[in-house]
Amino acid sequence: MTLVLYSMAAFFVIVIAYYIIWILREYERGVVFFLGRFQSVMGPGLILLIPGVQQLVRVDLRIRVLDVPTQDLITHDNVSVKVNAVVYFRVFDPEKAIVQVEDFQAATSQLAQTTLRSVLGQHELDQLLAERDKLNADIQQNLDLQTDAWGIKVSNVEIKHVDLDETMVRAIAKQAEAERMRRAKVIAADGEFQASEKLKDAAKVLSEERAALTLRYLQTLLDMSTEKTSTVLFPIPIDLMAAFKEKITHGKGAD
């Protein structure tokens, strides 16, 4: 009989100790309620509570990773896309996280989904594809502003995937091809313009320097002589041609 009493006493002691003694890790805090009213935030370490009078709720302060489900949204330029993201957040005020909202993780998840649709819906498709960093920062700022009242700090948001339907993918491919063709034509036109400028400068030099014109004339004769052709060339000295041209010019002037 004595052994049974000792066993029962030991059992009650263990049960009472279970509700009295709490050990919180370095990354944990305990929100303590006294008769249902908020009393204080305790921890880490050893905490002693009065059973039935005080209650404790554990809160993890480490950064949590929230995978936002894929959201269907329409961009500012009326393109339907599917976007998903990942949100990194942590509790910085355990009291608010427990008292102000029923389930802070579920609330943050739902808010992240609506914020993702709201922010991205204000931008065009090209911005979604090319300005990920800016959009991530916009979503993070909006989320952090709204979760501050819950004691939640949103540290980072990353857009993972932007999925388009096949029709839009083909349209983007055609647009990219047209852009490449436009750039090729612009480059070709710019090259022709530069070449014409160089030819103009070369013609000016040749017209002013007779020696340069003679060298060019001889180079042309050399190029033609190396080709396999039945054409017979009779070189005429440039001086003779110049004198002939000058005589013709003076003759017309006399008339």
**Residues whose CB falls within 8 Å of the CB of residue 36, separated by 6 or more in sequence, listed in order:** 55
* Tens digits of residue pLDDT in 199-231: 677 666 656 655 555 656 656 656 666 656 565
Is the model's pTM score more than 0.85? no
CA dihedral sign, ordered 228, 234, 235, 238: negative
Would you tell me how many other CB atoms lie within 10 Å of the CB of residue 250?
Answer: 10
Backbone φ, ψ for residue 53 (5° rounding): -110, -40
pLDDT band at 78 (very low <50, low <70, confident <90, very high): confident
β-bridge mates for residue 68, sequence order: 85
> Of the ranges 136-140, 152-156, 168-172, 194-198, which one carries the lowest mean pLDDT score?
168-172
Give the model's pLDDT for residue 143: 95
* Tens digits of residue pLDDT in 88-133: 999 999 999 999 999 999 999 999 999 999 999 999 888 888 899 9
Instruction: Indicate whether 168 pLDDT > 70.
Output: no
The distance from CA 216 to its chain's CA centroid, rounded to whole angstroms, is 56
In the numeric block, the tokens 């949590």 are attached to 64
Q: How far is CA 103 from CA 25, 90, 146, 251, in A?
A: 22, 14, 15, 107
In contact, 57 and 98? CB cutoff 8 Å? yes
Read off the tokens for 181.
Answer: 């063709």
In contact, 88 and 155? CB cutoff 8 Å? yes
Which 8-state DSSP code applies to residue 58? E
In contact, 24 and 45? CB cutoff 8 Å? yes
pLDDT band at 41 (very low <50, low <70, confident <90, very high): very high
Give the model's pLDDT for residue 122: 92
23 HSE (CA, 13 A, CB side): 2
pLDDT band at 52 (very low <50, low <70, confident <90, very high): confident
Rounded CA separation 122/139 (Å): 12
* Domains within the chain, CATH numbers bracketed: 2-60 (no CATH), 64-164 (3.30.479.30)
Would you tell me how many other CB atoms lie within 10 Å of the CB of residue 150?
Answer: 21
Torsion of CA 203, 204, 210, 213, to 10 degrees: -10
In contact, 235 and 221? CB cutoff 8 Å? yes
Rounded CA separation 152/109 (Å): 12
Rounded CA separation 147/88 (Å): 13
